[in-house]
Chains A and B, each alone.
Chain A
């Protein structure tokens, strides 16, 4: 059964058509990136999958349920561009927040928080407050929080967009390690071509006005990926392929109707 299933979905904001005729299926264990220029509706699509906004027509289902049911059943974790940590809570308590809401008891929460801190390599920082952490560390806390309740689906909206290149590449590797360890499915919004190619099993290329899927490219780079993956010829070929697909989408937009 597909983790995400979207059929003929449309979203309008007033006069603007943000998304049109979106069809997408994502299988368990996939890492799918949505890439495209700003205004192509990639973040909107992510929010529709997470039931944070409603489509105008068509529907998204998660794990075979309507998106709303899946949200109420806490079947996905979400990470935004900024970490959105709760400043008044320590690192531990930030990670434990979804668990508190899911009414886990104290002992189970503590065990899970410890496990998540190990996963994102922040052991020793449990009693720090968010403002005491660097941007990269804050984002790792946000990832730990999103994964704390073992959701099958992880939704990420440009999670490393605000970080410097070096931190970003390191966190890319960490995310792949976490993805493999947790066995979850990831939908990842980005506007970095190399990031999309490096991380994904599939890259969904989107184009704007109206936002639509213009191409889907399978990334056949071997797993697990390492720092040297970025230096392989196949990596560059795929980067070129995605870049051309993006430009093609752009040309379609410019061509007279």
Chain B
């Protein structure tokens, strides 16, 4: 997949292999590191007799994860829904705003400094506030904080993509007497897609963080963040760690889903096939 593009190269096919992007041998080094890390973790805890409240053994976490899987899954699903809908709402609105700002540049230059400044604000600090705006027990309180978290990286990236079009490409569209709608549909949006996906991938990570941390400030009993917090408070560290593990897995799943969508959408980009 790393051959240099030449004139005789066949059009790449979009099979599963291409979707995953790599052969098994490409994955192998990463797999070795993962297994090695877990083994080392287990070994160090056994060898130095590390107390469970500091760090449980991976094997113990895995066992607890498996034994409590149905409860865990219910909590995880609840929190994942918050993360997912917050991500969808925040990202969707971000792309819409970016389109408006790219179309009317004066509005864009008026708002952009604040958008960039807002991007630097630790938005998660507002979580207790959204908990009072909506009921902390309702998903909407977490969805709203997740949406705000996802908004900025997607908006900033999308706007950069929409405005980083080759000026010659725009001149060409002008020479074809294309209108603004056509220029956006056929040039600006396709150019922006790789940027938008970069923003979306950042947002997937923020979404899971936002949902779980939002729940630390108060949430329904069957929410993953609340579960982790209460288990840790009553010294059920294996259960807390099992919850953390699930939060990680759900975050990675959301990220991979977006990455797969990116590969499907951007088949024409040579770099996504490498």
Chain A residues proximal to chain B, CB less than 8 Å: 47, 50-52, 71-74, 76-78, 80, 82, 84, 86-90, 97-98, 100-102, 125, 127-129, 131-134, 137
Is the beta-carbon distance between B169 and A84 smaller than 8 angstroms?
yes
Which B161-190 residues have a C-beta within 8 angstroms of A?
166, 168-169, 171-178, 182, 186-187, 190
Q: A51–B7 Cα gap in the complex (Å)? A: 35
10 further A-B contacts with Cβ under 8 Å, apart from A78-B171, A86-B186, A88-B268, are A47-B171, A52-B175, A71-B175, A80-B172, A84-B169, A88-B269, A97-B186, A125-B7, A132-B5, A132-B11
Is the beta-carbon distance between B168 and A82 smaller than 8 angstroms?
yes
Is the beta-carbon distance between B190 and A98 smaller than 8 angstroms?
no
Q: A52–B167 Cα gap in the complex (Å)? A: 11
Question: Which residues of chain A are within 8 angstroms of B174 by Cβ–Cβ distance?
Answer: 51-52, 71
Interface size class of B (residues with CB under 8 A): 20 to 34
Question: Which residues of chain B are within 8 angstroms of A50 by Cβ–Cβ distance?
Answer: 175
Which B1-29 residues have a C-beta within 8 angstroms of A?
5-7, 9, 11
Taking a contact as CB atoms closer than 8 A, the residue among B7, B166, B173, B182 that contacts A132 in the complex is B7
**Complex: chain B residue closest to A130, CB-CB:** B268
Indicate if B36 sits at the interface (CB-CB under 8 A): no
Given contacts A87-B268, A88-B190, A97-B186, contact A77 B11 (CB under 8 A): no
Is the beta-carbon distance between A72 and B187 smaller than 8 angstroms?
no
**Complex: chain A residue closest to B190, CB-CB:** A88
| B186 → A minimal CB distance (Å) | 7
**By DSSP majority rule, is chain A's interface helix, strand, loop, or mixed?**
loop
Given contacts A84-B169, A131-B270, contact A76 B6 (CB under 8 A): no
Is the beta-carbon distance between B190 and A86 smaller than 8 angstroms?
yes
Question: Which residues of chain A are within 8 angstroms of B11 by Cβ–Cβ distance?
Answer: 90, 127-129, 132
Question: Which residues of chain B are within 8 angstroms of A80 by Cβ–Cβ distance?
Answer: 168, 171-172
**Complex: chain B residue closest to A137, CB-CB:** B7
Q: A236–B204 Cα gap in the complex (Å)? A: 66
Q: A51–B174 Cα gap in the complex (Å)? A: 9
Q: A63–B173 Cα gap in the complex (Å)? A: 21
Name 15 interchain pairs, CB-CB below 8 A, sorted by A: A50-B175, A52-B171, A72-B177, A78-B171, A80-B168, A84-B166, A86-B169, A86-B186, A88-B268, A97-B186, A101-B186, A125-B7, A131-B5, A132-B5, A133-B7
Q: A129–B12 Cα gap in the complex (Å)? A: 10
Is the beta-carbon distance between B186 and A78 smaller than 8 angstroms?
no
Question: Which residues of chain A are within 8 angstroms of B193 by Cβ–Cβ distance?
Answer: 88
Q: A128–B186 Cα gap in the complex (Å)? A: 18
Taking a contact as CB atoms closer than 8 A, the residue among A78, A88, A128 that contacts B175 in the complex is A78
Q: A89–B168 Cα gap in the complex (Å)? A: 16
Is the beta-carbon distance between B178 and A101 smaller than 8 angstroms?
yes
Q: A149–B184 Cα gap in the complex (Å)? A: 22
Q: A90–B187 Cα gap in the complex (Å)? A: 14
**Complex: chain A residue closest to B271, CB-CB:** A131
| B121 → A minimal CB distance (Å) | 35
Is the beta-carbon distance between A74 and B168 smaller than 8 angstroms?
no
Q: A86–B7 Cα gap in the complex (Å)? A: 17
Q: Which 5 A-B pairs have the closest CB atoms?
A: A88-B268, A84-B168, A88-B190, A98-B176, A72-B177
Q: A90–B10 Cα gap in the complex (Å)? A: 13
Question: Which residues of chain A are within 8 angstroms of B9 by Cβ–Cβ distance?
Answer: 132
Question: Which residues of chain B are within 8 angstroms of A89 by Cβ–Cβ distance?
Answer: 268
Q: A127–B10 Cα gap in the complex (Å)? A: 9
| A168 → B minimal CB distance (Å) | 17
Q: A71–B172 Cα gap in the complex (Å)? A: 11
CB-defined interface of B242-274 with A at 8 Å, one 1/0 digit per residue?
000000000000000000000000101110000
Given contacts A86-B186, A87-B269, A133-B7, contact A101 B168 (CB under 8 A): no
